[in-house]
Amino acid sequence: MESTHVNNNTKPQFSNNESQYADLIRRITLNRNFDEPANSILIAMYSFLIIIGSTGNILVVLAVLRNKSMQTARNIFIVNLAISDLLLCLVTMPLTLIEVLSRFWPLGNSVLVCKSIGALQGISIFVSTISITAISLDRYQVIVGCPAKDNLQMLGAVFILLGIWTIALLCAAPLFIYRKLHNYDINIPMLNVHKIYYCVEDWPDLPFFNGRVYYSIFSLTIQYFIPILVVTSAYLRIYLRLKKRILVSQNISSVDERIKQRRGQRTKRTNYLLISIALIFGISWLPLNFFNLYTDLYFSMNNTQLTQTTYIIYAACHMAGMSSACSNPLLYGWLNSNFRKEFNEILCCKKNGNDSYSASQKLRGGESSVVLRKKSCMHQQNGNKPKTELVKANNNEEVQEFTLTTNI
């Protein structure tokens, strides 16, 4: 999935011609696919994504580790997403950059390294996208589902995470199985080089297409089509439910007009966030998935060499996908008031503030102010429509949609 087109698996042609021999020495010495300035531009762009993505995701992990109040079952999903995105930043992006820039495999003659790198790249991407899908389903359950039965515990969250990683391992297993290290004998005494290596995906020929094409279709389905369908559907239902709830609250005459206005503004911000999450996910991963499928189909039917333009397009599509590792800390962390508070304290070296954990989590512990919720889910089981009502607690009328959307 990940390293499909960054390996030139065509056996190099060596000649006794003096000029070609000199060119071969230059190519082996430099081991570059690109001339300047393309080489430096790619390094700079990847470095920017790696630094920004790593910083954001490390902040997310630290925010939860330093504050016990934030170590909830639901925040574990956010941490898992941050860890998978850290893998994208610290493993997938650097290794893909090395493969894109290099003419031949520069990381030695270990077959296990060659196979493991391909598998790690696939695992990190599958975990990231499946985690985003799981987060959307969890939020759907909290807001649209049955809140009375919403009792996700830490143990249950851990089992879900184990399931996510197991699915990712199984989906990425073919990248480990079919990745091979090929070596070609050369003899350049002046460089003390006797072999060069190519780490390539060597898929079997199947009816109609190479096995790589079928895996690309599988990957496109599991890693893109199903997640984008689930995420979009879940957040659409959440959007409609919040819209309905704000209309109900606005029709209650006992609620102050100022509070109604604040609720409307909060719901509007939440809706923008929901739309942004679905759009950014879809736009980020679309180019890489379709580029992989197109090139797999093209090269399976045409025995042609990879060109420098192909490598550049691949790098651009890959960076678009990897940009999700930079946007996720923003969408799932910074725009959450609890995480944002922790980020500010970490960056400003402030003391841990467990006692000041924000209203949304207190709500879930019973210290809520005003919450919209279903009176009971038993009505759904009996085939009746659930009744929606305002539940007032602790004589505070300031919080409504905020309590439902802080964790969006």
Annotate 142-158 with DSSP letters as a single string: HHTS-GGG----HHHHH
**For all residues of the chain together, what is the average pLDDT?**
75
Q: Give residue 273's pLDDT.
A: 78
Task: Please calculate the CA angle 136-324-357 and round it to the nearest 5 degrees.
Answer: 55
Q: Is the pLDDT of residue 315 over 50?
A: yes
End-to-end CA distance of the chain: 30
> What b-and-e string marks burial along 355-382, b requiring 16 or more CB atoms within 10 Å of the CB?
eebbbbbbbbeeebbbbbbbeeeeeeee
Q: What is the DSSP letter of 407?
A: T
The confidence band for 57, taking pLDDT boundaries of 50, 70 and 90, is very high
Q: Give residue 371's pLDDT.
A: 39
Q: Is the pLDDT of residue 392 over 60?
A: no
Q: Is the pLDDT of residue 340 over 50?
A: yes
Q: Choose between 268 and 49: higher pLDDT.
A: 49
Q: Give residue 130's pLDDT.
A: 92
Among 9-23, 124-138, 208-222, the minimum mean pLDDT is found in: 9-23
Q: Give residue 404's pLDDT.
A: 40
The percent of residues in the chain predicted with pLDDT above 70, rounded, is 68
Q: Give residue 181's pLDDT.
A: 87
Q: Is the pLDDT of residue 303 over 70?
A: no
* 66 neighbors 352 (Cβ within 8 angstroms): yes
Q: Give residue 3's pLDDT.
A: 44
Q: Is the pLDDT of residue 341 over 80?
A: yes
Q: Give residue 22's pLDDT.
A: 66
Q: Is the pLDDT of residue 342 over 90?
A: no
pTM for the predicted model, two decimal places: 0.76
Query: How would you write 85-132 as a 3-class SS string?
Result: HHHHHHHHHHHHHHHHHCCCCCCCCCHHHHHHHHHHHHHHHHHHHHHH
Average pLDDT on 353-373 reads 41
Q: Give residue 18's pLDDT.
A: 61
The confidence band for 150, taking pLDDT boundaries of 50, 70 and 90, is low
Q: Give residue 151's pLDDT.
A: 62
For residue 311, which of 90, 51, 32, 125 has the smallest C-alpha distance? 32
**Token pair of 383 as six digits:** 């085939």
Q: Is the pLDDT of residue 351 over 80?
A: no
Q: At 254, is the secondary structure helix, strand, or coil? A: coil
Q: What is the DSSP letter of 205?
A: B
Average pLDDT on 246-268 reads 64
The confidence band for 257, taking pLDDT boundaries of 50, 70 and 90, is low
Q: What is the DSSP letter of 322?
A: H
Q: Give residue 198's pLDDT.
A: 84
179: Cβ–Cβ under 8 A, 6 or more apart, which residues? Answer: 3, 114, 115, 118, 119, 199, 200, 201, 202
Q: Give residue 213's pLDDT.
A: 87
Q: Choose between 365 and 140: higher pLDDT.
A: 140
Q: Is the pLDDT of residue 356 over 80?
A: no
List of domains in the chain: 18-350 (1.20.1070.10)
Burial of 152 (0-12, 13-18, 19+ CB in 10 A): middle
For residue 2, which of 106, 109, 129, 111 has the smallest C-alpha distance? 129
- The enclosing H or E element of 39 equals helix 38-65
Whole-number CA gyration radius for the chain: 26
Among 12-21, 109-118, 297-306, 329-338, the minimum mean pLDDT is found in: 12-21
